[in-house]
Structure 1
Amino acid sequence: MATTTTERTTRQDQPGRPPGDLPAVPAWRRRLWPYFLAVPALLVTVFILYPFVLSAWYTLLDYAARNTGNVSVVGLQNFQQVLTSATFWGAVRTTAIYAVVTTAVETVLGVGIALLLYRASRIGSIFEKVLILPLMIAPAIAGVLWRLMFNSQFGVLNYLLGLGSFDWLGSSTALFSVILVDVWIFTPFVAILVLAGVRSLPREPFEASAVDGAGWFYMFRRLMLPMMWPYILVAVIFRFMDCLKIFDHVYVLTAGGPGTTTTTLQIAAFQNSIVFSNYSLGATYMFLLWALVFITARYLVSVLGKAQRRAAGAED
Structure 2
Amino acid sequence: MSKTNKEKLPDLNRVPFKTRVRPYLIVAPSLIITIGIMVPFVMAIWYSLTNFSFKLPTHKFIGLTNWVNVLSSGSTWKAIWVTLLYGIASTAVEMALGMGVAMLLNSLNNRFSKIMRVVLIFPLMVAPVTATIVWQLMLNSSAGIVEKLLNVFNVYNFPWASSPKTAMMTVVLIDVWVNTAFVILLVLAGLQSLPKSPFESAKIDGGSNWFNFRNLTLPMLRPSLYIALLFRLMAALQEYAVIYALTKGGPGDALMSLSLTAYQQGFKFQKFGAALPYILILWLIINVVAKEIVKRQRAAQKQAAGLDE
- Output the TM-score relative to the length of structure 2: 0.90
Q: 1:296 is matched with which residue: 284, 289, 292?
A: 289
Aligned to 1:248: 241
Q: 2:130 is matched with which residue: 135, 138, 141?
A: 141
For 1:149 and 1:211, the matched residues in 2 are separated by: 50
Q: Alpha-carbon deviation of 1:40?
A: 3.6
Q: 2:156 is matched with which residue: 142, 145, 164?
A: 164
For 1:136 and 1:172, the matched residues in 2 are separated by: 30
Aligned to 1:309: 302
Is 1:278 matched up with 2:255?
Answer: no
Is 1:204 matched up with 2:197?
Answer: yes
Is 1:82 matched up with 2:70?
Answer: yes
- Aligned 8 A contact 1:151 1:168 in 2: no
1:98-152 Cα distance to aligned partner (Å, 9 max, x none): 1111111111111100110113211100000001000011111111111222222
For 1:154 and 1:214, the matched residues in 2 are separated by: 51
Aligned to 2:4: none
1:224-268 Cα distance to aligned partner (Å, 9 max, x none): 111111111111111111111111111101110001111111111
Q: 1:114 is matched with which residue: 74, 91, 102?
A: 102
For 1:197 and 1:83, the matched residues in 2 are separated by: 42
Aligned to 1:12: none
Aligned to 1:264: 257
Q: 2:80 is matched with which residue: 77, 86, 92?
A: 92
For 2:136 and 2:45, the matched residues in 1 are separated by: 36
Q: Which region of structure 1 is more displaced relative to structure 2, 162-171 or 301-310?
A: 162-171
For 1:44 and 1:277, the matched residues in 2 are separated by: 29
Q: Alpha-carbon deviation of 1:204?
A: 0.6
- The one-letter code sitting in structure 2 at the alignment partner of 1:43 is I
Q: Alpha-carbon deviation of 1:179?
A: 0.2
- The one-letter code sitting in structure 2 at the alignment partner of 1:169 is A
Aligned to 1:10: none
For 2:241 and 2:111, the matched residues in 1 are separated by: 36
- The one-letter code sitting in structure 2 at the alignment partner of 1:144 is I
Task: Output the aligned Cα RMSD.
Answer: 1.8
Aligned to 1:123: 112
Is 1:61 matched up with 2:54?
Answer: no
Aligned length in residues:
293
- The one-letter code sitting in structure 2 at the alignment partner of 1:243 is A
Q: Alpha-carbon deviation of 1:172?
A: 1.7
Aligned to 1:21: none
- Output the TM-score relative to the length of structure 1: 0.88
- The one-letter code sitting in structure 2 at the alignment partner of 1:64 is S
Structure number with greater CO (CA < 8 Å, separation at least 6) is: 2
- The one-letter code sitting in structure 2 at the alignment partner of 1:87 is S
Q: Alpha-carbon deviation of 1:46?
A: 2.8
Aligned to 2:3: none
- Mark the CA change 1:39 to 1:145 in structure 2 (over 3 Å): closer, same or farther: same
Q: Indicate the percent of aligned positions where both proteins have the same amino acid.
A: 38
- The one-letter code sitting in structure 1 at the alignment partner of 2:161 is L
Q: 1:175 is matched with which residue: 165, 168, 171?
A: 168
- The one-letter code sitting in structure 2 at the alignment partner of 1:245 is Q
